[in-house]
Amino acid sequence: MPWWVWGGIGVFGIAIVLSLVSSAVPTDPLQLLADANKAAENADLKTLLQSLESLRQFPDREGEVSYLEGIVKLGETKPLKAIPLLRKAVDTPSVKARAWLALGRAYGTAGQLQNATDALKQVLDDPEVGSLARFSLAGMMNSIQAYDEALTQFTALAEKDYDIGRTLYQRGEIYIDLGEYEKAAADIRKSIDIDPNEPTNSLKVVKLLRTLTRLGRFEGTDKYAEQLDNPIAAGSFKAEKLIAEGKIKEAIAALDAARRDARENPQLVCTWGKVMLAWNDPEKAKQALAEVYVACRRATRNTEGMQVLQGIAEAVGNQELADLARQNVEMLQTKRQQMLEALKAIGSDVTSVEKRMDLADLAIDCGEVELAERVYRGLAMFFPDQEAVIAPRRARLDQPLKLLVDLGNSVDLPTPAPPPDAARPDRPPLPPPGRGAAPAEPAEPAKDL
C-alpha cells in the first residue's frame, strides 16, 4: 500500500484478531468519537472497535459510525468497500474533514486518481487535517510525476514545517529528476540535518553525495560520507573528493578495497578511469582504457562513463575511439534533454498514460532507468485498466540496450585468466570425464572352497 495512505492514521487492519475486552467505556458520543479518532491515529484497533461498537447504540450518530466503518475497511485494504461509507460520512459535520481526507486516500488506493484529487482538495485548508491532505495529495502527484502540483503542495508544507524531514527529502528527489541539483542538495541536506538519527538517512546520504558530486561540491561533506554503509558508494565518493583535492595516490587507495569485491561495477570503473586521467600521463590512462571500454559496452547508456572513455581515448591517442565515445555522449545528452522536456510537459497533467510511457522510453534511452521504473509503478497504481497497453511498453525495462553508436574494436582486451584446472604447457591436457582413466584391476578369480 502506498505510503501516502497512512500518514497520520496508521495501519490497523492487517490482522483483525484482537478481541474486544470487557471494560467500562464512555457513554458520551463525542468522547467516543474523539477516542476513535485518536485510536485511528495511533493504530489502536482495539480502542477503535470499542468506540465504534458503542457509537452504534446512538441512532443519531449514523454519520460517525459510517466514517469509522470506512476507516476500518480502508485499514483492511478494502478501498472499494470504504468509499461508499466515507461518501456518506462527508455530510456529517463532526467528521466531515476527516471523512474527506480518508475518502481521498480510499480513491487513491482504488486507482481513482481524479476522484482522489477532488476529495483531498476539499480540505487542504482545514485547520485539523489540511496538512495531512496536502501530504497525501503531494505523494500521489509525485507518484505520477505531476511535479508542478507536487512541488506546490510540498512547498506549502515546508512553509508550515510539516513533517519537514520527509517533506524536504521528497521535494529534493523531484528536483533531482528535474536536474535542479542546487535545490535538491539544499533540501536533502536539510532533511538529514533535521533528524540525524532517522533510519533512512543512509539512503538519503547516497543521493545527497551523488548530487554534490555532480555539482563538484565537496566542502563539508565528511560528516555525511561517514554515514555511507554502501562500500561502492563510499569508495567512489571518497575517490572523487580526493581527485578534486589533487590527492591522486590517496584516491587510488580509496578505491582499492571496493574494487576488490566489485571490480566490474560501472560506477567504480568510471571513477577508476577518472583517477587515471587525473595523472595527466598517457601511460596511466592506458592502464584504465580496457576496463572503461568494457564497462561502457556493458552499461551502454552511462553518459559519465562515455565521457571518461572519451577522455582516456584522447589521452592515449586513440582518436577513432574518442570520436565514437563523443558521439555517444552527445546523443545521450540529447536524449536526456528530451526526457526533461517530456517530464515538464506532464507537470500539470494527471490523465495522460501515453505521455508517461513516452517519458519512460526517453528515461530508459538516456540511462535514467530508476525514473522509468517509478513511472511504470505510478501507471500501475492509478491506471490499472490500461494494463494491456502498458505491459508491452514496460517490457523495455528488462531488455538489454545496444550502444547508440558502436565503439568499434580498436582496444586490445586482456586475455582472460585460465580457470585453475586448465591445461598448462608443461603437462598434457586432462582427459574428458569418464575417458582416459586407468583401467580397473581385473577381478580376482573366485576360489573353490
Locate the domains of the chain by residue range. 1-140, 259-411
> What mean pLDDT is predicted for residues 306-328?
97
Kindly indicate the confidence band of residue 442, based on its pLDDT and cuts at 50, 70 and 90: very low
Among 328, 316, 227, residue whose Cα is nearest residue 279: 316
Position 414 scores a pLDDT of: 74
Spatial separation of the C-alpha atoms in residues 237 and 212, rounded to whole Å: 10
Q: Other C-beta atoms within 10 Å of 430: how many?
A: 10
Cα distance between residue 402 and residue 406, in whole Å: 8
pLDDT(7) > 70:
no
Instruction: Please name which of 324, 243, 326 lies closest in space to residue 277, comparing C-alpha atoms.
Output: 243
Measure the CA–CA gap between 232 and 227, rounded to whole angstroms. Answer: 13
What phi-psi label fits residue 146: left (phi over 0), alpha (psi between -120 and 50 degrees) or beta?
beta
Q: Lowest-pLDDT range, 199-203, 263-267, 345-349, 412-416? A: 412-416
Q: What share of the chain is helix, strand, coil (3-state, %, to 5)?
A: 65, 0, 35
Residue 112 pLDDT > 70: yes
- Give residue 424's pLDDT: 42
The span from the first CA to the last CA of the chain, in angstroms, equals 82
| Cα separation, 147 vs 129, whole angstroms | 23
Alpha helices (runs of H) in 245-368, residue ranges in sequence order: 248-261, 266-278, 282-298, 303-315, 319-345, 353-365
**For 56-69, what is each residue's pLDDT tens digit?**
888 888 998 999 99
Instruction: Return the residue matching grid coordinates 533540501.
Output: 187
User: What pLDDT is attached to residue 13?
Assistant: 35
Report d(CA 60, CA 209) in Å as an integer.
Answer: 58
Cell of 241: 573528493
Compute the mean pLDDT over every residue in the chain, rounded to the nearest whole number.
87
Helical H segments across 23-146, by residue range: 29-41, 45-55, 62-75, 79-89, 96-109, 113-121, 130-143
**pLDDT at residue 15 is higher than 80:** no
Which has the closest alpha carbon to 151: 143, 141, 165, 163?
141
Please report the pLDDT score of residue 46 as a whole number.
Answer: 82
Find out if CATH 1.25.40.10 is the number for domain 1-140. Answer: yes
C-alpha grid cell for residue 240? 572523487
- Mean pLDDT score, 1-17: 43
Taking only the tens place, the pLDDT of each residue in 262-273 is: 888 999 999 999
Comparison of pLDDT for 147 and 54, the residue scoring more: 147
Q: Looking at residue 258, what is its pLDDT?
A: 85
Q: What is the DSSP letter of 140?
A: H
pLDDT for 96 equals: 96
- Find out whether 119 and 136 touch, Cβ atoms under 8 Å: no
pLDDT tens-digit readout, 123-142: 999 999 999 999 999 999 99
**C-alpha cell of residue 375:** 513511472
CA 360 to chain centre: 15
Least confident of 34-43, 78-87, 258-267: 34-43
